[in-house]
Amino acid sequence: MCFTCDARSLGRRGLFATGAALLATAVAPAAQAQTPARPDTPAAAMQELVEGNARYAANLMRRTDFSARRATLAQGQAPFAAVLGCADSRVAPELAFDQGPGDLFVVRVAGNFVTPDGLGSLEFGAAVLGAKVILVLGHTSCGAVNATVEALQKGNTLPGHIASLVTAMKPGIEPALAQPGDDLIRRALVANVRHSVRTLETSTPILADMVARGALAVKGGIYDLATGRVELI
């Protein structure tokens, strides 16, 4: 086997690398100039999520060159919003709100409820990274919510650690079973999201203080799998 380099080939490769570097240098400022300003208030952050979801639902998402921001993001992050979402594979917050890398601080667990680890992560996202809003994002046809409703109605036990999901979601969903009406699953979805919202906005010592000072807002929403639209609740 020959390990001798072809000097001419190496020269061409070096020229190509130099040209690519110069091109990247020339393009990067223009790409950065097109990056929207980061929302700096809870209201502005929420408005950006609303507008981004409208673009997504209408299939008018912004064309984004992720490579242009990659080097900058390697130096640090400053997400403008945090999302507590479900682990469901059909719900991708960055897509649903038409955002790129570095824009959203996402915590996911089946059933989008607050866990100790998730709470700590969201505290970090808000207090350290500067997220202005936390959105608790439920979704239609949520298997975790459906399983919890069925378990509460029938008393059945789910296998393994799946049962712990029902235990955690029970306080938020159980009151919905006592309410009248045929839309039990819808009521359970909303109740589960609102329970997590209340848990987060009253969580001491960090989040409750930020909410009281107006530095952070905690909101809830339901993502419709069929349409891609998020309904704020």
- Domain borders along the chain are 1-34, 39-232
Q: What is the pTM of this model?
A: 0.83
CATH number of 39-232: 3.40.1050.10
Q: What is the 3-state secondary structure (H, E, C) of 183-223?
A: CHHHHHHHHHHHHHHHHHHCCCCCHHHHHHCCCCEEEEEEE
Q: pLDDT class for 70, splitting at 50, 70, 90?
A: confident
Question: Residue 100 above 90 pLDDT?
Answer: yes
Query: Binding residue per annotation — 2?
Result: no
Query: Binding residue per annotation — 86?
Result: yes
Query: Binding residue per annotation — 161?
Result: no
Question: Residue 45 above 70 pLDDT?
Answer: yes
Residue 72 or 188, more confident: 188
Q: How many CA atoms lie within 13 A of 214 on its CB side?
A: 4
Residues composing the chain: 233
Question: Residue 92 above 70 pLDDT?
Answer: yes
Supply the mean pLDDT for the chain: 87
Q: pLDDT class for 36, splitting at 50, 70, 90?
A: low
Question: Residue 6 above 80 pLDDT?
Answer: no
